[in-house]
Amino acid sequence: MRKIAVIYSGHASHFRTFHEPKYAQFIDKLIYFPDFAETNLSPYDVLIVPSQLNSNLLLQNAKKIRDFADEGKTVIAFGPQPWQWLPNQNWEERTTNFWWWIEENADSGLRVQNAQQPFFEYITLEDCTWHQHGVFWPPAHATTLVSTIDGGSVLYIDEQSTKGTWIITTLDPDYHFGSYFMPATERFLDGMFQWISKGDITKKILEHC
């Protein structure tokens, strides 16, 4: 299995999510964010960058995260990203509709893209559905897995902008599970940890196995 490290802010939602036994079993290292700059990342294959992190610390440590990816490793970034630190980042802020599901003919606006990708062996569209905080417009070489109706990317994989793999999503399951609401986020995390710990990340990898 891949060795997974998680940046840890110490706030309540992170504490609950990353100490939950069924997720903690996959985590090799919780790295308290103020200590991140001095932490050796070489033992790890995957780095999870949660939502709700301190923006100043995030920007200060952006190069270290990118350097980790450039060793051929995987970075997973959760949540809205109004700060410029992701490779080829093109973020669009949008108003969040928290109550779409009570509207007549309710439609979350989310759509599956590239359904053949291994991600969907672990996670369904319903598992990705609560609300969205914005979208990315990723580079053409990226593989979008979940999009909005107008084509904005809610979750995508980028294997070409750096020497590593970036799994980037506007979704924030770590916050909602850790805050005890949005049942879909638990299903998302159940599948996510299975996928990133031992699954194939992309179809391209499958084709070369």
For the chain, what are the domain ranges?
Answer: 4-198
Distances (CA, A) of 187 to 21, 129, 130, 163, 176: 15, 10, 12, 30, 12
pLDDT higher than threshold 50 for residue 2: yes
pLDDT of residue 88: 95
Averaged pLDDT, 14-24: 98
Cβ atoms of 68 and 96 within 8 Å: the answer is no
pLDDT of residue 89: 92
pLDDT of residue 206: 39
Convert the pLDDT of each residue in 121-158 to its tens digit.
999 999 999 877 899 999 999 999 999 999 999 999 99
Convert the pLDDT of each residue in 87-117 to its tens digit.
999 999 887 766 556 667 766 789 999 999 9
Say which CATH topology domain 4-198 has. Rossmann fold (3.40.50)
- 24 residue type, one letter: A
pLDDT of residue 131: 77
Averaged pLDDT, 6-15: 96
Convert the pLDDT of each residue in 35-57 to its tens digit.
999 999 999 999 999 999 999 99
In 3D, which of 8, 41, 45 has the Cα closest to residue 198? 45
Contacts of range 169-172, beta carbons closer than 8 Å, 24 or more positions apart: 169/76, 169/77, 169/78, 169/79, 170/79, 170/80, 170/81, 170/132, 170/133, 170/134, 170/135, 170/136, 171/78, 171/79, 171/128, 171/130, 171/132, 172/51, 172/52, 172/78, 172/79, 172/80, 172/133
pTM: 0.92
